[in-house]
A and B are shown apart, each in its own frame.
Chain A
Amino acid sequence: MSYKCVVLIKQVPDTRAITGDAMNEDGTVNRSKLASIPNPDDLHALEVALEIKEKFGATVTAISMGLPEAAQVLREALYRGADDAILVTDRRCAGSDTLATSHILSCAIKKVGADIVLCGRHSIDGETAQVGPQIAEFIDAAQLTCVGELKDVDKNSITVRRVLDNGWQDAKAPLPCLLSVTDQANEPRVGAATRLMKYKNATTSANYDGDVNELREKNLLIEQYDLDQIGVDLSRIGFNGSPTKINRTQKVILEAKEVKEISPTQEGISAMVKELIEDHSIN
């Protein structure tokens, strides 16, 4: 049997490399100053999908919702081993919160169909870890969050080890099932250089003047859908359809406290310790 796996990959700014000049005065982030990368956890999710493909037989479709530039993360998915890629891009997506995003992605998943949906545990820009469970709800699937290891897949079920706050749990869920995968699950493969060269040329139909079928045959096509093509309920998305809204954002500005400089000598340190004992910071 061949399972249908869908992997969700988000393009994110590399927030780990954030510096002061990537911040605007109003506390928003200037994304153009940051490199765009596939969300780190999502590559672990892709690796689990590839593991399922190799051990149990499966097709792997990568889906991303984002700006046209997000095609880049799908190219990466293809060269790492995904069979197909779909980009959902539409101006009307703007302002969507996690619930709205989950609605859009779940429509795309329903269009292609899936036995196993895999996503990252959380994204490094949104960091909510909400999209996975919310998609599971909308596609009426079981959910296994915080997956740290794939154990088994059989006709009707999937078994994984979940890594939890205090310990772990081996759980078996019926298909269809959504997995949110942590970075403990595996070491994502890099992909062969020849594949890298080939898939550099993968492109969306919107950006291709020639015969799209030719692209498809060479497996270099990134399918592109807008919201109408996947049957999104427009009242549930965008700024107006999103239940949460941003009231304001602030740059993190640290309050300057009164700081005493202590010399790294025994006298200096002893005086400090004495002060701390006197004000009961040390008992």
Chain B
Amino acid sequence: MVDVNKKGDVWVFVESLGSKVEDTSLELVGKARELADELGVQVGAVVLGSEIAGLDERLICCGGDKVYMCQDPLLAHYQVSSYSKVLCDIANEYNPSIILFGATSVGRDLAPRVAARLGAGLSADCTDLQIGSHKDSVTGKTYDDILLQICPAFGGNVIATIINFDKWPQMATVREGVMKMPELDRNRKGETIKHTVNLSKEDLVVEILDELVTEKTVDLKGSDVVVAGGAGIGSKENFKLLWDLANALGGVVGATRPAVDLGYISEEHMIGATGVTVRPSLYIAAGISGALQHQTGMWDSKKIIAINTDPDAAIFDVAHYKIVGDFNEVIPMMIKAIKAKC
């Protein structure tokens, strides 16, 4: 176990692809900056890989103070055995107070294994992280300046605040898009620390036979307008109307889980607890009932228009504009109005 180290830094495990730091990691560095400022400590970013030169600059511009560069040919491909070894070694050496991971395929594979080896607590899929205090109801003792890990539980029906006051580091995973992308400050200064990696071939336990990495084609998070459809749209053909509206607005199309499951649209368009979190300027929800699992992925949108034939649909609880009606009629009217104005 790594001891409780109140002076420990706030760390981010950095994922990168080629010469690019993944957005999730940059978002986490932004959040780590806020947490570290509140605690009066520094932000550390840990980068593992074989060709990682130059990534430190980007991380510093986004808010990092120290970038630990763990470079080794054996780290070329992510593997839980080698990556967990390096990460545990470096955590034991520097004693951070917090380590944040993206809730990605890699983060979800790695973080629990690291937590188990360190004997540390880990919470999954946090939607917010804050610094605060906790009063233990059994001992009456108060713990100040600890990480409040806020995450949905029970299929999104409950929001739980998880804490870990004695078995550090405090660890959490966070989904892509949940934290805001920090602004780039080209004048920021930071320190790059080369960390010597102690690995041998035996540390690569798994053999990767073949893989297919597909580029994400839809940029749901980056888009200012999202037109989303649910099971109420009824068919793949009907979804075309949503594409038309999205095109008229320069936006993208999103969907609920049932719409994906029914084959109306591919999985990368899914918004919600198990999909992507978006916060566009305008979110249009058509044929969506508004289940919490969907709402958690969109309720931070600045303006929400909901179109539903059921006047009591839960989606209207979070909408700014409520349109009780059939999307087949309403959407063509919207397209017409937009074309007339522009």
Contact = CB atoms under 8 A, between A and B. Distances in A.
A252 interface: yes
Which are the 7 A-B pairs with shortest beta-carbon distances?
A264-B325, A243-B121, A15-B155, A243-B167, A244-B121, A137-B116, A133-B112
28 contacts: A15-B155, A27-B158, A29-B158, A99-B116, A130-B115, A134-B116, A146-B105, A170-B210, A171-B208, A173-B206, A243-B164, A245-B164, A245-B165, A247-B161, A249-B160, A254-B317, A254-B318, A257-B319, A259-B320, A261-B323, A264-B329, A269-B323, A269-B330, A269-B337, A280-B281, A281-B281, A282-B225, A283-B250
B121 A97 contact: yes
A194 B175 CA distance: 45
B115 A264 contact: no
Contact of A251 (B158, B213, B281): B158
Interface stretch (B25-33, B92-100, B122-130, B183-191): B122-130
Contacts, number: 232
A171 B159 contact: no
B117 interface: yes
Given A270-B333, A274-B341, A282-B249, 9 more contacts: A99-B119, A142-B81, A169-B212, A172-B206, A242-B121, A246-B161, A259-B316, A260-B320, A264-B333
Interface in B109-142: 109-113, 115-117, 119-125, 134, 136, 138
Interface of A: 13, 15-16, 18, 23, 27-29, 97-99, 102, 124-134, 136-138, 142-146, 159, 162, 164-174, 239, 242-252, 254, 256-266, 268-270, 272-274, 276-277, 279-283
Interface in B283-342: 292, 295, 299, 302-303, 305, 316-326, 329-330, 333-334, 336-338, 340-341
Contacts of B136: 245
Interface of B: 80-81, 104-105, 108-113, 115-117, 119-125, 134, 136, 138, 148-149, 152-167, 205-216, 224-225, 249-250, 281-282, 292, 295, 299, 302-303, 305, 316-326, 329-330, 333-334, 336-338, 340-341
A167 B106 CA distance: 13
B321 A102 contact: no
The secondary structure that dominates the B interface is mixed
